[in-house]
């Protein structure tokens, strides 16, 4: 048969021998005696016999053969494997690696891409995993090659190498005529390092942004306003330097009345730039003023060529500036600069915008903490809240946990526990009403002044989260609107709380974290559906976090809404109002 284009390697393989006679690869069959290739070609031609097309492909990787003979018996299967040869040029130019493996994970053939990645001249004959430095298999299939061979179906997984590279592999079995069990695999290898590292960086930036706003009143109660500002600056610097790896940073806050952009924090900026007066204007205040005025991010690729740019860091050749947005309003700007031209791309823009969103929340938190001091009476209300809310929740949780063990066995015990539940709830409401009367409205700090929300008054809300600070915040935020808030630590406790309400009482809204200590949000939803039928449930999830697809499955099961952390108070309130309104129409 004609000489096909055989795969070429970067150098000689271990199969190569010093011979001058041409080689012919011989894949024989039942017609061998009729053809008698050996007699026809004579002793001047070296014939190498193989028993299957797959073994032929392995031999062809050496590039030593002048021709191939294939008996008609093998035509069908050789045609399948031969596609690798006929499309050799395409395979060689593919961005993905393609290799043929045997049962021992030994490479029989490759398109050269894996050789480039591993900086090895020859990969044929090498163990696939050993060639990649024994990478960690991170799933979803932890034995992809074994799975593909035993299940006779394709399998895929992701590998993590020591040099922080990630490869997604897809293994498909190769069937040969007359064999019911495959002995070889075609494996494609895709370098997904950039994709995975970008996802990791997004997650790291988001978690760092959340940490910025995590300044609870208890932790900084003894701090002065100046100390709180320094604490926030320290957090910002740590995030920008450790996570974003930035050396030049400038943050300015926008005065909503005067439109001045007042410096809050700068690192690496020239002194004249750091003190330069800027305003939220499209002209005369550089890129920062333009971003503050328009609310749009701006990449300055070449500072020398961009007429909008005003000198910031000494020797800077490019910059990236994003607005700090809070509730669709610009509250400031975040500017970073680099000594290299074209240093920032769309990925950097995405990273910085995510960080800026959480930074805006943190700065807003700081302003609320630094707002006018409330009167002693208002402080007493907060003291009542912290002293009563969660401890009474603990009483309720303990009571329902004990009640579950006695239901059906000790009616008297259950009756006493139900009395404890009613008394605990009554005591909490009485104390809160007394506290509210102690503090006149004008004494409330600005952070606690809320608009009237008649739909929320008296609505019973259950919040399920393992984090004490989340449960405490639920009381703090929602009880301002006169909601009746109760909490649970995990899914089982939530089920108990729902099951042991009085006959004429129900939760108007149930808000749960998607990840609980004993189950996920979807599993909790199914348990509550079994108990209630329709469940007015909201799931809370971190940015991009849903490894078990709980949200997707919960939506299919009737989930009402999802809140992605960090969410604003108005989003939480609006979501609850929507569910309450929908409940009235059902």
Question: Which DSSP string corresponds to 462-526?
Answer: EEE-S-HHHHHHHHHHHGGGT-EEEEESSHHHHHHHHHTS-TT---SEEEEESB-SSSBHHHHHH
The answer to whether 91 touches 114, Cβ cutoff 8 Å, is no
| Mean pLDDT to the nearest integer, 74-100 | 58
Between helices 75-86 and 53-60, what is the axis angle to 10°? 30
Whole-number Å distance between alpha carbons of 379 and 383 = 6
Q: What is the CA 584 to chain-centroid distance, rounded?
A: 36
Whole-number Å distance between alpha carbons of 487 and 505 = 16
In this predicted model, which residue has the larger pLDDT, 105 or 36?
105
| Mean pLDDT to the nearest integer, 506-533 | 91
In this predicted model, which residue has the larger pLDDT, 315 or 242?
315
Whole-number Å distance between alpha carbons of 557 and 525 = 8
Residue 122 is predicted with a pLDDT of 79
Q: What is the CA 512 to chain-centroid distance, rounded?
A: 19
Whole-number Å distance between alpha carbons of 295 and 463 = 35
Task: Verify that 337 and 218 share a domain, yes or no.
Answer: yes
Q: Is residue 10 part of a domain?
A: no
pLDDT at 278 over 50: yes
pLDDT at 307 over 70: yes
pLDDT at 306 over 90: yes
Residue 177 is predicted with a pLDDT of 60
Residue 427 is predicted with a pLDDT of 65
Whole-number Å distance between alpha carbons of 488 and 495 = 9
Classify strands 249-254 and 260-267 as parallel, antiparallel or unpaired.
antiparallel
Element (H, E) at 109: strand 107-110
Q: Is residue 4 part of a domain?
A: no
| Mean pLDDT to the nearest integer, 427-432 | 62
In this predicted model, which residue has the larger pLDDT, 440 or 410?
410
Total number of domains constituting the chain: 3
pLDDT at 528 over 90: yes
Name the domain boundary from 172, 191, 210: 191
Of residues 492, 489, 446, the one with CA closest to residue 465? 489
Residue 237 is predicted with a pLDDT of 67
Residue 512 — pLDDT band, cuts 50, 70, 90?
A: very high
Task: Verify that 559 and 520 share a domain, yes or no.
Answer: yes
Residue-number span of the structural domain to which 336 is assigned: 199-369
Q: Is residue 6 part of a domain?
A: no
| Mean pLDDT to the nearest integer, 55-84 | 58
Cβ neighbors of 240 (< 8 A, separation 6 or more) are 246, 249, 267, 336, 355
Question: What pTM value is reported for the model?
Answer: 0.39
Task: Verify that 260 and 209 share a domain, yes or no.
Answer: yes
The answer to whether 463 touches 485, Cβ cutoff 8 Å, is yes
Residue 462 — pLDDT band, cuts 50, 70, 90?
A: very high
List, for residues 206-238, the tens digit of each pLDDT value.
Answer: 565 555 545 554 555 566 656 666 666 676 666
Task: Verify that 467 and 400 share a domain, yes or no.
Answer: yes
pLDDT at 91 over 70: no
| Mean pLDDT to the nearest integer, 13-42 | 62
Burial of 487 (0-12, 13-18, 19+ CB in 10 A): buried
Name the domain boundary from 165, 191, 217: 191
**Max mean pLDDT range (223-232, 363-372, 514-523):** 514-523
Name the domain boundary from 137, 169, 191: 191
Give the residues across from 512 on adjacent strands.
464, 539
Task: Verify that 234 and 271 share a domain, yes or no.
Answer: yes
The number of residues making up the chain comes to 586
The mean of the pLDDT values for the chain is 76
In this predicted model, which residue has the larger pLDDT, 119 or 464?
464
pLDDT at 294 over 90: yes
């Amino acid at each position: 048969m004609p000489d096909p284009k055989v795969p070429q390697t970067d150098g000689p393989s271990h199969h190569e021998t010093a011979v001058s006679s041409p080689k012919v690869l011989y894949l024989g069959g039942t017609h061998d005696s009729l053809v008698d290739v050996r007699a026809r070609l004579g002793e001047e031609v070296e014939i190498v016999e193989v028993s299957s097309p797959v073994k032929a492909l392995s031999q062809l990787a050496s590039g030593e053969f002048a021709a191939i003979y294939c008996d008609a018996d093998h035509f069908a299967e050789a045609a399948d494997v031969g596609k690798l040869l006929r499309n050799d040029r395409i395979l060689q130019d593919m961005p993905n690696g393609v290799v043929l493996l045997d049962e021992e994970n030994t490479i029989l053939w490759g398109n050269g891409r894996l050789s480039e990645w591993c900086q090895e001249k020859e990969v044929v004959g090498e163990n696939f995993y050993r060639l990649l430095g024994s990478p960690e298999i991170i799933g979803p299939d932890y034995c992809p090659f074994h799975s593909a061979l035993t299940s006779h179906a394709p399998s895929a997984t992701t590998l993590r190498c020591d040099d922080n590279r990630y490869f997604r592999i897809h293994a498909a079995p190769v069937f040969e005529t007359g064999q019911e069990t495959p002995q070889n695999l075609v494996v494609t290898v895709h370098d997904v390092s950039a994709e995975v590292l970008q996802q990791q960086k997004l997650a790291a930036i988001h978690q760092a942004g959340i940490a910025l706003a995590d300044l609870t009143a208890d932790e900084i109660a003894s701090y002065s306003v100046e100390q709180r500002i320094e604490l926030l600056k320290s957090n910002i610097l740590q995030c920008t330097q450790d996570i974003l790896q930035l050396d030049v940073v400038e943050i300015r806050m926008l005065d909503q009345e005067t439109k001045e952009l007042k410096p809050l924090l700068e690192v690496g900026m020239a002194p004249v730039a750091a003190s330069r007066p800027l305003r939220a204007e499209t002209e005369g205040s550089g890129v920062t003023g333009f971003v503050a005025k328009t609310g749009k991010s701006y990449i300055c690729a070449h500072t020398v060529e961009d007429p909008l740019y005003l000198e910031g860091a000494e020797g800077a050749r490019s910059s990236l500036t994003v607005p700090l947005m809070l509730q669709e309003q610009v509250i400031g700007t975040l500017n970073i600069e680099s000594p290299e031209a074209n240093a920032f791309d769309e990925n950097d823009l995405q990273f910085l915008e995510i960080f800026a969103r959480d930074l805006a929340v943190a700065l807003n938190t700081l302003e609320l903490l630094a707002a006018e001091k409330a009167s002693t009476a208002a402080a007493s209300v907060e003291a009542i809240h912290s002293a009563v809310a969660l401890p009474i929740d603990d009483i309720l949780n303990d009571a329902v946990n004990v009640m579950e063990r006695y239901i059906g066995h000790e009616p008297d015990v259950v009756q006493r526990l139900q009395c404890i539940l009613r008394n605990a709830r009554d005591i909490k409401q009485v104390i809160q009403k007394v506290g509210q009367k102690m503090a006149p409205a004008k004494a409330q700090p600005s952070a606690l002044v809320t608009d009237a929300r008649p739909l929320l008054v008296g609505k019973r809300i259950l919040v399920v989260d393992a984090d004490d600070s989340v449960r405490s915040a639920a009381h703090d935020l929602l009880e301002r609107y006169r909601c009746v808030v109760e909490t649970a630590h995990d899914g089982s406790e939530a089920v108990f709380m729902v099951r042991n309400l009085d006959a004429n009482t129900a939760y108007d809204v149930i808000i749960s974290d998607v990840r609980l200590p004993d189950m996920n949000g979807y599993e909790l939803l199914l348990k509550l559906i079994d108990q209630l039928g329709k469940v007015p449930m909201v799931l809370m999830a971190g940015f991009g976090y849903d490894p078990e697809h709980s949200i997707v499955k919960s939506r299919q099961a009737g989930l009402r809404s999802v809140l992605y952390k960090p969410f604003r108070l108005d989003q939480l309130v609006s979501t609850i109002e929507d569910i309450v309104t929908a409940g009235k129409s059902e």
